[in-house]
Amino acid sequence: MASNEELFRKIIAHAKEYGFVFPSSEIYDGLSAVYDYGPFGVELKNNIKEYWWKSMVQYHENIVGLDAAIFMHPAVWKASGHVDAFNDPMIDNKDSKKRYRADVLVEDFILKLEDKIEKEAEKAAKRFGDTFDGKMFRETNPRVLENLQKIQEIKQRFYPALERNDLADVKLLIEELGIVCPISGSRNWTEVRQFNLMFSTQMGSVNEDANTIFLRPETAQGIFVNFLNVQKSARMKIPFGIAQIGKAFRNEIVARQFLFRMREFEQMEMQYFVRPGEEMKWYSYWKDERMKWHLSLGIPAEKYRFHDHDKLAHYANAAADIEFEFPIGFKEIEGIHSRTNFDLGAHQEYSGKKMQYFDQELDERYVPYVVETSIGLDRTFLAVLSNAYREEKLDDGSERVVLGIPARLAPIKVAILPLIKKDGLPEKARELMDTLKYDYRCFYEEKDTIGRRYRRMDALGTPYCLTVDHQTLKDDTVTIRDRDTMKQERIRITDVSIVLREKVAK
């Protein structure tokens, strides 16, 4: 385990050193759980996006794209359940796995105490009959006084604690009061957490007109609210899918896991709309499809596994994660969820618009069911990067650091290197560069010895290096060097483009 953490640290350092990923706002000490993609990182990220988009949209006639705005009407998040589920101080009981609002637990406890006082008074009233003075009793009875004082103490502590968001004190109070879970009867509580999962901001330049709106915590809702627009304008027939790549934002409580858990992240999602009753068929279809996609990246199968959910979110009737073995262990990289008709149904209810589809074959109108595939772009980036990173000891005793990034995803596809910086080799190399740069992301480099330049390209994950030497001037051939095997072969300049196309597509 220790060596894996070491590895993770090395990958993070390498990512920074070689221009893949920088901590956000680093010169101001950074911004926690936010990262920037550097010159080579953005290339890799774009390549992953492009590959996903092609796999989903271009290769499926019945899947179309969408790019919905990050800002959406606040009602969207009401309908989706995000507002209610994530805005209160919550606490979980570890035994019953039940989640409670912490403020409700305490207030219920206060009610119980008040109840006790009531009962005490009732009993006394019976005992004393007509001579009973309720007011006097409450002012003098020791047990009543004790409870009253307790209520007073709780209130004086509880409300200020809520006011200043002192969740630790709220938990302490719950523990000190000995509040138990009504289901498990245990006092085994988690920390109290404020579930303001969503970031908010103001829309409207004048303050008084300002409306609080949220930065979307998932891209899916942009698809759901456009369901009718897309279905009608693109004349889609069920089953069909809508795909989208975009940023989403979550106020994570604990981040600290590099790209794995960021406050601002990017999702690649596809919502597949199906007939009610057929959702399980499509759910298992997409589970298979998505796993195949991951394996097509050339990453070994043993790095992946499925994790089926037993506990389901409020909107799902089946859910599985595809997990990847990061250096920090197996973690979710993609989720495949059968979301039922929950979302479209909720939007239909809240908006009053019919979110329905008329199925001509069935001669029936219905709210479609949805199967979602949702993959974390940043997590995929991290998976590719951590799978690619390796340190090698070579036969001659030297070492090298290589990023074995699949060629089709590599930031730089090919480096063009004159063997030495004179005898007209740079000029010849430039010529070659000019013929290739429209089709491939190229990198030209003439400084330092050829060996050092190869190593630099290895560290960037550049799969191929073309070297222009003296023989090139004579017969128009160059050597092409393979990053992984370090082997070279000599090919004709006129064949370079074809050879590259074949290799890069692999």
Partner RNA sequence: GCGGAAGUAGCUCAUUUGGUAGAGCGGAAGCCUUCCAAGCUUCAGGUGGCGGGUUCGAGCCCCGUCUUCCGCUCCA
Contact between 94 and RNA by CB under 7 A: the answer reads: yes
Contact between 452 and RNA by CB under 7 A: the answer reads: yes
Q: Report the nearest approach of RNA to the CB of residue 253 (Å).
A: 5
Q: Report the nearest approach of RNA to the CB of residue 5 (Å).
A: 5
Which neighbouring-strand residues pair with 391?
A: 401
CA distances from 72 to 68, 211, 216, 436 (A): 9, 12, 7, 43
Contact between 13 and RNA by CB under 7 A: the answer reads: yes
- H/E stretch holding 221: helix 220-224
Of 448 and 476, which CB lies nearer to RNA in the complex structure?
A: 448
In the list 208, 209, 302, 399, the residue contacting RNA (rule: CB under 7 A) is 399
Contact stretch for RNA (CB under 7 A) within 225-233, 239-247, 267-275, 483-491: 483-491
- H/E stretch holding 230: helix 227-233
Contact between 427 and RNA by CB under 7 A: the answer reads: no
Give the footprint of RNA on residues 149-188 (CB under 7 A). Answer: 168
Contact between 80 and RNA by CB under 7 A: the answer reads: no
Q: Report the C-alpha gap between 443 and 466 in whole angstroms.
A: 10
In the list 106, 242, 268, 316, the residue contacting RNA (rule: CB under 7 A) is 316
Which residues, including other chains, have CB under 8 Å from residue 275's CB and lie 6 or more apart? Answer: 238, 239, 359, 362, 366, 368, 369
Cβ atoms of 55 and 392 within 8 Å: the answer is no
Phi-psi region of 216 (alpha: psi -120 to 50; beta: other; left: phi over 0): beta
In the list 69, 136, 206, 254, the residue contacting RNA (rule: CB under 7 A) is 254
Structure tokens at 403: 């990023």
Q: Report the C-alpha gap between 489 and 487 in whole angstroms.
A: 7
Cβ atoms of 337 and 319 within 8 Å: the answer is yes
CA distances from 176 to 127, 152, 154, 179, 379 (A): 34, 15, 10, 8, 41
Q: Report the nearest approach of RNA to the CB of residue 312 (Å).
A: 8
Contact between 422 and RNA by CB under 7 A: the answer reads: yes
Q: Report the nearest approach of RNA to the CB of residue 193 (Å).
A: 6
Give the footprint of RNA on residues 462-481 (CB under 7 A). Answer: 467, 469, 471, 478-479, 481
Contact between 197 and RNA by CB under 7 A: the answer reads: yes
Contact between 225 and RNA by CB under 7 A: the answer reads: no
Q: Report the C-alpha gap between 442 and 38 in whole angstroms.
A: 17
| Number of residues lying near RNA (CB under 7 A) | 59
Which neighbouring-strand residues pair with 337?
A: 319, 372
Residue type, 423: D
In the list 127, 232, 447, 506, the residue contacting RNA (rule: CB under 7 A) is 447
Give the number of other CB atoms < 10 A from CB of residue 153.
11
Q: Report the nearest approach of RNA to the CB of residue 260 (Å).
A: 9
In the list 451, 492, 498, 501, the residue contacting RNA (rule: CB under 7 A) is 451
In the list 3, 29, 135, 302, the residue contacting RNA (rule: CB under 7 A) is 29
Cβ atoms of 429 and 418 within 8 Å: the answer is yes
Give the footprint of RNA on residues 331-350 (CB under 7 A). Answer: 335, 337
Cβ atoms of 72 and 62 within 8 Å: the answer is no
Q: Report the C-alpha gap between 375 and 59 in whole angstroms.
A: 18
Contact between 39 and RNA by CB under 7 A: the answer reads: no
Which residues, including other chains, have CB under 8 Å from residue 224's CB and lie 6 or more apart? Answer: 80, 271, 343, 344, 347, 355, 370
Contact between 190 and RNA by CB under 7 A: the answer reads: yes
In the list 279, 321, 343, 378, the residue contacting RNA (rule: CB under 7 A) is 321
Of 19 and 345, which CB lies nearer to RNA in the complex structure?
A: 19
Of 265 and 440, which CB lies nearer to RNA in the complex structure?
A: 265
Cβ atoms of 275 and 359 within 8 Å: the answer is yes
Of 168 and 234, which CB lies nearer to RNA in the complex structure?
A: 168
**Interface positions with RNA (CB under 7 A):** 5, 8-9, 13, 16-17, 23, 29-30, 32, 85-86, 92, 94, 168, 190-191, 193, 197, 252-254, 256, 258, 261, 309, 313, 316, 319, 321, 335, 337, 394, 396-399, 419-422, 447-452, 454-456, 467, 469, 471, 478-479, 481, 486-488
